[in-house]
């Protein structure tokens, strides 16, 4: 994929983590609307990292969870955010960056179009900037 496209940036991120798209396919059967949402969240997680600009480090992961909480009311996001905050407090780590990432993720999630409802996999060749504009992620 050409540089600057969703596909290029996604592939770059996966390679940097030693992952392949096939390793991210959720093999679980979909038997309910809840299963579909869970399935879609799993399969698009790394794509949404790219779209939102949240890195794959600890702060980026928690920022993305705040985004998921705002977008999808994910119970898992609540648990992960709580765990990250508790860990920071117990380890007496600075909390300003964590709170900023959480605030940014939640605000972005509230303002953006529902990302998991988009056919992202059909737009690998589209510029990332176009996706972000269309989904109001900027």
- The domain segmentation of the chain, as residue ranges, is 6-134
Q: Determine the pLDDT at residue 54.
A: 98
Contact in structure between 132 and 51 (CB atoms under 8 Å): yes
Q: Determine the pLDDT at residue 78.
A: 97
Q: Determine the pLDDT at residue 38.
A: 87
Q: Determine the pLDDT at residue 12.
A: 96
Angstrom distance (rounded) from CA 70 to CA 14: 25
Q: Determine the pLDDT at residue 26.
A: 84
Q: Determine the pLDDT at residue 79.
A: 97
Angstrom distance (rounded) from CA 5 to CA 123: 9
Phi, psi of 93 (to 5 degrees): -85, 150
Closest-CA residue to 70 (of 112, 40, 28): 112
Q: Determine the pLDDT at residue 113.
A: 98
Q: Determine the pLDDT at residue 81.
A: 98
pLDDT by residue for the chain (138 residues), tens only, comes to 999 999 999 999 999 999 988 888 888 899 999 899 888 998 999 999 999 999 999 999 999 999 999 999 989 999 999 999 999 999 999 999 999 999 999 999 999 999 999 999 999 999 999 999 999 997
């Amino acid at each position: 994929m050409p540089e600057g496209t969703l596909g290029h940036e996604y592939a770059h991120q996966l390679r940097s983590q030693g992952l392949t798209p096939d390793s991210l396919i959720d093999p679980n059967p979909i038997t309910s609307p809840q299963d579909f949402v869970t399935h879609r969240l799993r399969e698009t997680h790394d794509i949404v990292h790219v779209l939102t600009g949240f890195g794959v480090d600890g702060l980026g992961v928690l920022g993305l969870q705040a985004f998921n909480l705002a977008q999808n009311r994910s119970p898992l996001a609540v648990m992960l955010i709580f765990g990250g905050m508790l860990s920071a407090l117990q380890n007496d780590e600075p909390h300003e960056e964590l709170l900023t990432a959480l605030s940014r993720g939640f605000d972005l999630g509230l303002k953006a179009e529902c990302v998991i409802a988009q056919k992202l996999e059909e737009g690998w060749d589209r510029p990332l900037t176009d996706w972000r504009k269309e989904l109001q992620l900027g």
